[in-house]
Amino acid sequence: MRTLVIGVALQLWIVLFIGFFGGYLVSIDPGVRLVAQLIAVVPLVVWAAFRLRGPRDGIDAVVGIAVVAHVVVSGFSLDRTGSLEASAMAVVVATLFWLMRDLADRERLRRFAAAAVVAAVVPWLAAVAAAWVLEKAEWIAAGGGIPDLESFQVFIWGTANVLPVLVLLAAAFAAWLPDRSSRLVVWVVIGLLSLVLVPFSAGRAGWLGIIVAVLVLEPLAGGPIRGWVTRRSHLYVARRRWVLGAAMLVMLGGLLRLGPAIAANLESRSRIWSQAIGILLSDPLTGSGPSTFSWARLQHVPDYVDRVPVILSHSVLFQTLADGGLLLTAAFAGVVGTYALAVWKRRKRLLPAQRVGVAVLAGVGAASLLDDFSFLPSVTALVVTLAAWSLPSPSTHTFRSISWSHLSLPVGAVVLAVALVPSVVQVNRARLSADVGRNAAVKGNWEAAESAFRTASNAYPEHPGYHLSLGLVAAGRGNISAALDAYTRARVLSPGDPRGAGGMAAVVTDSAAQIDLLDEATRHSNDPQYPFRLAEALAAAGRDSEAELAMARAIVLQSTLVGLLEQAPFVDAQGAAERLPAAVESTGSVNGLDPDVPLWDAGLWRRELPEDAEAPWQAVSEAVSGDSEAAHIWLDAARDRDGSDARPYLAAAAVARLECEETGYRAAERLGRLLLGKEEPDEAGVAVSFRDRVYREPSLGDYQPPGVTRPPRAARWPQSLIDFPRCDWEP
């Protein structure tokens, strides 16, 4: 009865954390994050008080050493408070590993836990698969033809890329189910769901993980694939040419279809990894500190280069090098190496489920070299638990007698926890206060917002986002000196973030200083508002040619702006358009943007479209000139080239609107919206709360003071570039 009660409580704990509170929501809502921490930590503390002993072998000791290394590098962090909170989470993860090793020896409880993991993950897999099928069905029903692989709806998981990894982990835990028929049923369900989830996720890292898992499992399981081929070798030999030919065709088709996406993916990752290396070179021994990468990396991006809005490096290796330098990387490598060596030495005692677990861990490890899923606590917990269960226990270990060596792990964990709790309390207090401040700011209650953000910035003084928020609300209240102090502090803490300099520029009174600050923000940002504001400041200073170049840079970043410059009378629109080639040369060619797009948009606006413009621009240009037949020929060419790009459908909608053809307009507009997905909220002129990828929690838009000059709101292409006729229906 006692085991049953403990088992049911264990299942409830696992389902709550893995299935709900361990997902993406922890990075969005500070209240959810606090609840998730309590749900994760309190049961572990109770369990550790009664069951934690050790180390039982070398891997336990090496994990403990790695945790100590994590705390050490956090002490030298750019953000000591946040890094020490991350170290507290590292203690929790290590404790989970040690206790799951204990649970692995208690067969009945392990079965309860495995069933709970399956119950927590598989329904989400089914929900996501159903949502993706509906997405594709909606696309086909709208007349879009063969749908693109990439999907949008991910519920609590944050990214579609994690779904192949969840498929692997669910299959591994299903291997621990006690009943053979139950295992087979769950595996069949997971297999069927994977037919949707794996391809539609477009997660190349996950695909690599699945391939590696299969390759590792093959020898561990005794070579079932090799045996099947051998038993049917006569069929294979007889048909090998057909088989090889078909395989080559499939591979060629896959490369043609996915090659450009994979190349673009690796190109963007290489930029992120170079930033991680820059952080490492700045402090080779300890890096910038855990939890700092998302903003520390901005200091290592050249001027005008795309910042790539990410919170992690998309590689566990590069992330570890950036977060903890050579010290933490060596500790992490020690854990992985010691674990692999222990598995190898005990390979003859591996259970079937452990063989599956080792293969899946290898697959997840391979996927983690190209992506990083550690921002999802539930995935981290699943990987750590699987690692604990997949390692056979030492041949001899007992904790029946109490000795100091047996108590070293719990004593060490308690000492570290006590030392790190103040940082956890500080960070949570700051997050909750900042949440109060955001809600107050959105409602326009500047006084309450300033008080709340001052509390947050005092509790967590290394967090640049809280100082940016304090600057915004202080400026909104009219407290200019406090706003300037807050923006200055944010700029000092995170000099690569343009928003501190942009905020300072809005509250300083000296014209030269304002121009210098806006120039700095322009060089460090992809946001067109900074060159737009710089153009205004330069024009006010009588530097008209420089103002035109600054406006041209704004157009490079928001090309449809060229058709809205009548709303910016301080700059000559034609002059700015003529300076586009120079702006593209210094900005667009290294900015992760297509340098031709602003030139083509300007040509469309000026009715002087370059001959090398791509099909969507040509189609709209022909429709503007009245040649409907040529416009539709260009539209067909545009759709044939890339069915996953929204621009051909936006061009089709524009052509239909120019022809006042409502049915065609509605169909093309719907397809364009489906491809574009959900739009970002309008940030112009108001304090809005949305997730800040730099500081990894909700924020107040771009943090700029209320009332600053901003570029006209971006119009959907090509609406601001051409004039549409009045039709007898409303678009």
Structure confidence by residue, pLDDT tens digits, 134-181:
988 988 888 877 777 778 888 889 889 999 999 999 999 999 998 899
Map residue 479 onto helix, strand or coil: coil
Supply the pLDDT for residue 642.
Answer: 61
Supply the pLDDT for residue 405.
Answer: 60
* Average confidence (pLDDT) over 653-664: 93
Backbone torsions φ then ψ of 304, nearest 5 degrees: 70, 5
Please report the DSSP string for 490-557 in residue order.
HHHH-TT-HHHHHHHHHH---HHHHHHHHHHHHHT---THHHHHHHHHHHHTT-HHHHHHHHHHHHHH
Supply the pLDDT for residue 262.
Answer: 58
Q: Is the peptide bond before 718 cis (omega within 30 degrees of 0)?
A: yes
Q: Which of 171-185, 246-260, 262-276 has the lowest mean pLDDT?
A: 246-260
What is the token pair recorded at 450?
């300033």
* Average confidence (pLDDT) over 677-681: 45
Cα end-to-end distance, the chain, whole Å? 67
Other Cβ atoms closer than 10 A to 563: 23
Query: Model confidence at 226, in pLDDT bands (50, 70, 90)?
Result: low
Amino acid (one-letter) located at 537: A
Supply the pLDDT for residue 25.
Answer: 81
- Residues 349-380 have pLDDT tens digits of 999 999 999 999 999 999 999 998 988 999 99
Q: Assess whether pLDDT exceeds 90 at residue 583.
A: no
Query: Model confidence at 678, in pLDDT bands (50, 70, 90)?
Result: very low
Of 456 and 682, more confident: 456
Supply the pLDDT for residue 365.
Answer: 96
Q: How far apart are CA 367 and CA 83, in angstroms?
A: 25
Supply the pLDDT for residue 195.
Answer: 94
Q: Is the peptide bond before 55 cis (omega within 30 degrees of 0)?
A: yes
Of 386 and 562, more confident: 386
Query: Model confidence at 645, in pLDDT bands (50, 70, 90)?
Result: confident
Query: Model confidence at 680, in pLDDT bands (50, 70, 90)?
Result: very low
Backbone torsions φ then ψ of 543, nearest 5 degrees: -100, 70
Query: Model confidence at 493, in pLDDT bands (50, 70, 90)?
Result: very high
Please report the DSSP string for 636-655 in residue order.
HHHHHH-TT-SHHHHHHHHH
Of 403 and 546, more confident: 546
* Average confidence (pLDDT) over 72-86: 96
Q: Which of 36-40, 113-117, 563-567 has the lowest mean pLDDT?
A: 563-567
Query: Model confidence at 731, in pLDDT bands (50, 70, 90)?
Result: confident
Report the DSSP beta bridge partners of residue 700.
689
Mean pLDDT, the chain, integer: 87
Angle at 416 between CA 411 and CA 421, to 5 degrees: 125
Please report the DSSP string for 574-602 in residue order.
HHHHHTHHHHHHHTGGGTTS-THHHHHHH
Q: Assess whether pLDDT exceeds 80 at residue 544.
A: yes
Of 228 and 651, more confident: 651
Other Cβ atoms closer than 10 A to 190: 21
Supply the pLDDT for residue 399.
Answer: 47
Q: Which of 42-56, 101-115, 279-293, 534-548 has the lowest mean pLDDT?
A: 42-56
Supply the pLDDT for residue 401.
Answer: 46
Supply the pLDDT for residue 233.
Answer: 53
Burial 406-443 (b: 16+ CB within 10 A, else e): bebbbebbbebbeebeebbebbbbbbbbbbbbbebbee
Supply the pLDDT for residue 631.
Answer: 93
The answer to whether the CB of 482 falls within 8 A of the CB of 712 is no
Q: Assess whether pLDDT exceeds 60 at residue 402.
A: no
Supply the pLDDT for residue 261.
Answer: 55
- Residues 326-349 have pLDDT tens digits of 999 999 999 999 999 999 999 999
- Residues 430-471 have pLDDT tens digits of 999 999 999 999 889 999 999 999 999 999 999 999 999 999
The answer to whether the CB of 350 falls within 8 A of the CB of 391 is no
Backbone torsions φ then ψ of 571, nearest 5 degrees: -130, 140
User: At how many degrees (to 10) do helices 2-16 and 30-51 cross?
Assistant: 150
Residues in the chain, total: 731
Q: Assess whether pLDDT exceeds 60 at residue 258.
A: no
What is the token pair recorded at 121?
């993950």
Contacts of 299 (CB under 8 A, 6+ apart): 278, 494, 495, 496
Q: Assess whether pLDDT exceeds 80 at residue 551.
A: yes
What is the token pair recorded at 315?
């590689």
Angle at 64 between CA 62 and CA 70, to 5 degrees: 105
Backbone torsions φ then ψ of 698, nearest 5 degrees: -55, 150
Q: How far apart are CA 447 and CA 686, in angstroms?
A: 16
